[in-house]
Structure 1
Amino acid sequence: MEVCKITVTDAALRKGAEEGMDGFLQVFIDKYLEVTGGEINKETMPLLNGWQHSLLGYHFFRQEVMEGGFVQLIQNGYGPYIFDNPFAKAMRLFGAKDFSKLLYEAKKIYDANRENLERDCTDDEFMAKYEKYEAFDDLEESYMDMEEIVTAKIAEYVDEHLDQFAKIVE
């Protein structure tokens, strides 16, 4: 196994854990965002391992879908990061099986409409995509219903496999 290059302090981890699962995960996410400059591209991809990318992918997924759904997630450039990588498989390995299935369903819609979904557009055209891609609505609603459970499963997985996500230092 590759040695983890990302480090977080034990103190930061304890403080995050005191804030609950969101705070615990945020310690890692903040470090990944710092290391990548918040940009995911060919220069920054090698800076994180697959497990770290999966956690960062969940961060972007959750943030975008909770705010503006799959259309916003894709329009903001995260479609390839989520759907062209083994993100759904990683979520299954993290224990979030229903979420993984949801991602595979969303990928079908994404793959069938990718060109139009990713196309730059005006604000009006962007808003029209919500009507055009109503197929995402049920998936978004399902995610909203499971979000807390999914986040808890991910936090539990990270806690049980810390060395995959960061080297803990004093």
Structure 2
Amino acid sequence: MIIIRELLDKDMLQAIQLKALCWPEELAGMSEHKLDIDKEYSFWINWMHSGIENNDVRTLLGAFENDKMLGVAFASFSEKEDSQCGIELNGLWVYPEMRGRGISLMLMSKLLNYYENLGLKEIVIYNYHHSSSNSFYRKFGARVFKTEFQMDSKIPTDVFKCNIVSMKEYINRSLSKYCW
């Protein structure tokens, strides 16, 4: 049985290693940049614990089966220039061999439910333009509302936005296909 729960400090190194594993695919060949695991770990563990002092609600979730991590999702309040009443998906990574089981959908559903219960209305997603996961967000109703250039202005990044209720409806329909 797949369990979705908040990540603990002890889970964070594996979560960052998963991010690093998925990083080349996320960049879609647009950069040879490699992630420094120690720097990423330090950044995200600090980010995890600094939400309150930054007037933010940060959520870090993991999908687990028999205590084995399958995937993770990170979210927080969005920047005001992106959405006055929204969240930002800061990361969504699933082990390649675990894909196709609805894990991303379960993680997204839990995040969206949590933030909707706080009264938030939209989700904002920054995703590299050439990343294959862009089709995932489009499938669930997200639309590009601007494009930015990241990583020293070299890599085009699509910025998606979607109504939380609409995305939840798309995701819940897709989740109904999976039997656990």
* TM norm. shorter chain > 0.5: no
Higher RCO structure, 1 or 2 (CA under 8 Å, sep 6+): 1
More strand by percentage: 2
More helix by percentage: 1
Rg comparison, structure with higher value: 1
- Which range, TM-score by smaller chain? 0.3 to 0.5
After TM superposition, the score normalised by the length of structure 1 is 0.32
